Amino acid sequence: MKKAIVYVLMAMMMTVSVTAWARTAKDDVMTRQSDGTYVVNTTTLCADVEGYRGTTPLKVYIKSGKVVKVEALRNQETPKYFVRVKQQMLDKWNGKKVQKAEKMQVDAVTGATFSSEAVKQNVRAALHYYQKHKK
């Protein structure tokens, strides 16, 4: 009888521990910095979105409902062309309200169309994720 009570109590403690851990588990897609800036990392969010030579993950920084910056992460795109994407595209969303930025029609960079399209999909996915998961 005492063993059964001990087992039940242990099971209850484990359930409470797992539930508490699940509530505090860190989101691998979006984090919030101490200054209130949300950072959405599209590495796992857009794992199926590919540019010319592979995925084009980004970090999208959002503060007070506006895009602060879009930062390219390591990728396999042709450096010569992706530099142009970074220079000509990534700042297009800066300062825009998330709702407006999500609907923007940003032109692709000539010669880097696949990379450009992948970047646009990553940004839209990041903004959409932010809208659904911000606290």
Q: What is the per-residue pLDDT for 118?
A: 98
Q: What is the per-residue pLDDT for 17?
A: 44
Q: What is the per-residue pLDDT for 69?
A: 98
Instruction: Please enumerate, as own/partner, the contacts of 22-29 that have beta carbons within 8 Å and a separation of 24 or more.
Output: 27/133, 29/129, 29/133
Triad 102, 70, 100: Cα angle to 5°: 20
Q: What is the per-residue pLDDT for 24?
A: 40
Quote the tokens at residue 20: 């508490």
Q: What is the per-residue pLDDT for 135?
A: 82
Q: What is the per-residue pLDDT for 12?
A: 55
Q: What is the per-residue pLDDT for 26?
A: 55
Residues of the chain falling short of pLDDT 70: 1-26
Q: What is the per-residue pLDDT for 70?
A: 98
- Predicted model pTM: 0.80
